Amino acid sequence: MKNQTLVVAKLIEHGKQYELADSDLRVERYHVAKLIEHEKQYEQLGADRVPKEVLSDSFAFLIGAAFNRRMPSEKAWEIPLCIKKKGILDAAKLATMEKRELERLLESLPIKPRWGLEEGSKTLKTAARLVMAHGGDATAIWRNASPREATRKLQRIHGVGRGIASMVVRMLRDKLNAFYGQEHEIDVKAGVHLKRVFKRAGLTETETDSAVINAARELHPEYPGALDWPAWDIGNRWCFPSGPNCAACPLTAVCPRAI
């Protein structure tokens, strides 16, 4: 009888732990649902808009995406269009231009890369060379590749790390209908906004890249990258590093506010 009582006690204890774990899981799923809901609202508002002229030109898209770091995205997308107006948005031409020629080209643009002409010229040249390595067709970089393969290829562009490459792959899926049926391989970009939101919302214990990437994979395995923009937007608009506007945040009903 005593042993049976101990077994029952253990079963009850395990049941409570199971309920707690299930409760935590429900909260996490609610977080995900709210993020996905915000993503839909984000799309309806036309946020993250890419000019049609960029979307219709795969090389322009690649150049704009490569410059889309540490500067407003709307300005980054204008850079390839400015180059196009000069008549030299051509991978074959750009791949053979000298460093100083590329720097002069960027210097002549009304919008310039935030991190300088020398770094910008390297980004431009390596992007053009990557395209030429794929027969002069930018779409060949991702057309027959998996998201993970495309992510690796894109990192051959100067200044494009794993985070930017993941962002580009997600945009290729969302904007240019690439990688359908392979969304499970598309990761979030582990940027500062996303890491802060995930940590404060209780989705991760730390703000490391690996923590948020793995959390997104576990919480939304069918398409981890879908959590990217809504979390980024929440971090940008409400979940500030200091003085966050928790009352207005879409996650306020469930966020533990681990600040």
* 30-67 confidence digits (pLDDT tens): 667 777 777 666 554 444 578 999 999 999 999 999 99
Q: What count of other Cβ atoms lies within 10 Å of the Cβ of residue 126?
A: 18
List Cα–Cα distances, 149 to 146, 165, 169, 182, 218, in angstroms: 5, 11, 10, 12, 21
pLDDT at residue 186 is higher than 90: yes
First and final C-alpha spacing in the chain: 49
Q: What gap in Å lies between CA 104 and CA 186, rounded to an integer?
A: 36
Q: Which domains does the chain have, with CATH numbers?
A: 52-180 (1.10.340.30), 187-259 (1.10.1670.10)
Backbone angles phi, psi at 96, to 5 degrees: -105, -5
pTM of the model: 0.80
Q: What count of other Cβ atoms lies within 10 Å of the Cβ of residue 187?
A: 26
Q: What gap in Å lies between CA 125 and CA 103, rounded to an integer?
A: 10
In this predicted model, what pLDDT tens digit does every residue of 77-136 receive, in sequence order? Answer: 999 999 999 999 999 999 999 999 999 999 999 999 988 999 999 999 999 999 999 999
